[in-house]
Structure 1
Amino acid sequence: MSLSRTKATFAPPVMEARRWLDGVTHPADRPLINVSQAAPVDPPPAPMRAAMADMIVQDPEAHLYGPVLGLPALRDAVADRWSRAYGGQITSSQVAITSGCNQAFAAAISAICAEGDEVIIPLPYYFNHRMWLDMAGIKTVGLMCGDDMVPNADAAAALITDRTRAIALVSPNNPTGVEYPAQTLSAFRDLARARGIKLIVDETYRDFDSRTGPPHTLFADGAWDDTLIQLYSFSKAYRLTGHRVGAMIASTDILAEAEKFLDTVTICPNQLGQRAALWGMENLDDWLAGERLEILDRRAAIEENFHLIADQGWQLLGCGAYFAYVRHPFDMASDTLAQKLVAEAGILALPGTMFMPAEVADGKRQLRIAFANIDRAGIATLFSRLAALQF
């Protein structure tokens, strides 16, 4: 008997990690430090919530079905802002609004792949990308990164077969935090174009990139839509995680195929969330700039405090956006270590085994720390606890 689609993949990692908390108590003087999930823990800023409350009362359309590919005004705003930010030409017909960035990835894969096809993704990977590929009957082809956690286009070229349909990258990266250089993304674009496949670039964390100016020149290419599919999340930018609002920027042909998927799954994106995202784009630029600076300061705090554990054999493999990715020095697999950290250090973090195929041993020595949920003081406490570990 064949397995169901969902049985073809693993359990949701964040939910699995939360179950490690069952039956564990944390004393008042050592509360749990939760660095497991890459999501804001605060609600949207008060002015946005006030605007959303007004939308609920004053805008009847906020409660009804809308266009499958999203609110026209939001699509227009994304096309205009992206064109200016990236120095390219993007039209609203090349923008779709989705129910979160995960759905954008699922829609993109559904639009370009058939069962038995292959998609190349760097290792370590974002686990939800692997889960969707599993459930869609698509083979994940892992591309090992170098010591700098940046994938190499020449290495990817050797993995392309006649079943390869896309290469999917995330920058700034989840789980490593690394910001891929512009030339790296251009090299992958050139490879994908030459081999007739798509390049998917998930830029969920673009608003927290440490670089100024556009992080790449992919949209400056006048023929960008023959190869590039970009994904984005409003959830991280405006703390709209519970409202599920993302975006997909691609050719009109790809979006026509994606529309079939989106109509079947959700019919239309969340109407209130879309209106909130548009309001944020129109009113919260200064606020978002401040949020970016705060995340960059927390990144600096990670780097400044890492010396507390470096001399014990810990290594910082990557750091940026919401994440630090580390190698631990202990003689145990990272999934065992992560569960021990809950009870013995009051830390909930995800092990590298959740970001690697089981056959890749590297994941057993790695951990992801999602530091966007803790401030400078919390980061200092985190490293103090890690430094005190005795295994």
Structure 2
Amino acid sequence: MKFNPNVLDCAAAPIAEAWSWVRDPASDNLIDMCQAVPAHLPPQSLRDYLGAAIMAGEGASYTDIRGIPALREALAEDIGKRYRGRVSEADVLITAGCNQAFCSVVDTLCQAGDEIILPLPCYFNHQMWLAARAVKPRYLSFNVDTAMPDPEEAAKLINSRTRAILLVTPNNPSGAIYSPRCIEAFFELAREHGLALILDETYRDFIDIDQVPHKLFARGDWRDTFVHLYSFSKVFSLTGFRTGAVAAGQPLIDQLKKIQDCTAICAPHAGQLAALYGLNNLYHWKLEKSEELAQRAIAIKQAFSHPDLRYRLVSAGAYFAYVEHPFEAAARDVVKDLIQKQEIVCLPGSYFGRDQEQFIRLAYANVHESRFEDVIGRLIASQQRRYNP
């Protein structure tokens, strides 16, 4: 049996590989900072509702390819309020998680040999899908001082094969929150060149509710350029329900329906019911959890101010801290050492694109801040074992 060489060339699934380095997964001493997962279950009210709905026979059938109409309407209303813009249910398609949203958008916009511009560091599943589809990534360099991508650098990379610019904000893996000015500059660049601006905003619910992430949805022409990707996984703790969304103009939605019909047919019905319940009933619960994470972000930044720590916090926000390690060693070796000797499970920067060997990612969202002192102590211990000043 022969395999597609593009798939063979893809990296192995990063989370699984990192866990393969763990000597004792059952150890009570492990600190799991590997995968971005909520620290809490969905609220009891959502679980009760969904259990009753399933027992009543809901959730077992297909939905419309685009998703439950009421969910599309509720998400459009939620987007409109959050961004102070204009979105209708016709602009929304519900997907089997945000990863499927991204993959379907890429398949709709690109063919083999086309190019997408994206900043370093970048989400590993985005890289993997581009590689599997033979779509060439054109990388923007990582500014360790600001963690912000540069539109002027992107302009120099645009050519006849460029189809889109891809941004993730709040960023995975860096946690950086791109400013409205930065995002809007990339929109103008994409619009001028007839490109799509794909904006993965999976973590947008963990930005201060009083802060508008950007003003693109308020523009009358947003549908011609802007593609918004979203996930219900983190905001309502629904990671296993696989429910995400795309908001875009009607021409793109019409083409995405073809991809959806050939892959998932529709997003999981039960996940859609859970997402709809969340949008209709869990606003204050969402704000409470968002505030908890905001306090956790403050705590991780404070923890990294320890005078004996030689790991440097580059950026942090939403779920992630991106950290520069102090060793002249490959990031994989540093992470293996942290996993096996310090029992901190995390990811090497090399999973997030080229030129990232000096970094590691810590997913701090599912670790209570009371454990951050222990995390820092273990990082300092790793320095004593390996670091020569």
Deviation at 1:42, TM superposition (A): 3.3
User: Please, which of 369, 378, 381 is the counterpart of residue 388 of structure 1?
Assistant: 381
User: Please, which of 101, 108, 113 is the counterpart of residue 110 of structure 2?
Assistant: 113
Determine the structure 1 residue equivalent to 2:166.
Answer: 168
User: Please, which of 337, 340, 344 is the counterpart of residue 340 of structure 1?
Assistant: 337
Q: Which runs of 5+ in 1 are unaligned?
A: none
Alpha carbons of structure 1 residues 191 and 44: separation in structure 2 relative to 1, 3 Å: same
Alpha carbons of structure 1 residues 199 and 27: separation in structure 2 relative to 1, 3 Å: closer
Is contact 1:207-1:292 (8 Å) kept? yes
Determine the structure 1 residue equivalent to 2:251.
Answer: 253
Q: Distance in 2 between matches of 1:161 and 1:194?
A: 13
Q: Does 1:17 align with 2:15?
A: no
Deviation at 1:200, TM superposition (A): 0.3
Q: Distance in 2 between matches of 1:304 and 1:90?
A: 39
Deviation at 1:331, TM superposition (A): 2.2
Is contact 1:117-1:165 (8 Å) kept? yes
Range moving further from structure 2, 241-250 or 83-92: 83-92
Determine the structure 1 residue equivalent to 2:328.
Answer: 331
Determine the structure 2 residue equivalent to 1:7.
Answer: 8
Q: Distance in 2 between matches of 1:79 and 1:26?
A: 43
State TM-score, norm by structure 1: 0.95
Q: Distance in 1 between matches of 2:262 and 2:299?
A: 45
Is contact 1:26-1:346 (8 Å) kept? no
Q: Does 1:379 align with 2:372?
A: yes
Determine the structure 2 residue equivalent to 1:368.
Answer: 361
State TM-score, norm by structure 2: 0.95
Q: Distance in 2 between matches of 1:340 and 1:288?
A: 36
Q: Distance in 1 between matches of 2:100 and 2:155?
A: 27
Deviation at 1:81, TM superposition (A): 1.7
Structure 1 segment 1-391 matched on structure 2, within 5 A: 3-21=4-22, 23-24=23-24, 31-58=29-56, 60-147=57-144, 148-210=146-208, 212-308=210-306, 311-357=308-354, 360=355, 363-389=356-382, 390-391=385-386
Deviation at 1:24, TM superposition (A): 3.8
How many residue pairs match? The answer is 382
Provide Cα deviations, 1:184-210, integer angstroms capped at 9, x if missing partner.
000000000001100000000001014
Q: Distance in 2 between matches of 1:102 and 1:351?
A: 21
Q: Distance in 2 between matches of 1:278 and 1:263?
A: 22
Q: Distance in 1 between matches of 2:270 and 2:32?
A: 29
Is contact 2:71-2:272 (8 Å) kept? yes
* Structure 1 residue ranges (4+ consecutive) displaced by more than 3 angstroms after TM superposition: 1-5, 23-28
Is contact 1:312-1:329 (8 Å) kept? no
Report SS of the residue matched to 2:220: coil
Deviation at 1:271, TM superposition (A): 0.3
Question: Residue type of the partner of 1:368?
Answer: R
Report SS of the residue matched to 2:159: coil
Report SS of the residue matched to 1:319: strand
Report SS of the residue matched to 2:210: coil
Is contact 1:145-1:152 (8 Å) kept? no
Q: Which runs of 5+ in 2 are unaligned?
A: none
Question: Residue type of the partner of 2:350?
Answer: T
Alpha carbons of structure 1 residues 35 and 194: separation in structure 2 relative to 1, 3 Å: same
Q: Distance in 2 between matches of 1:141 and 1:52?
A: 43
Is contact 2:102-2:229 (8 Å) kept? yes
Deviation at 1:5, TM superposition (A): 3.8
Cα RMSD (Å): 1.5
Question: Residue type of the partner of 2:368?
Answer: D
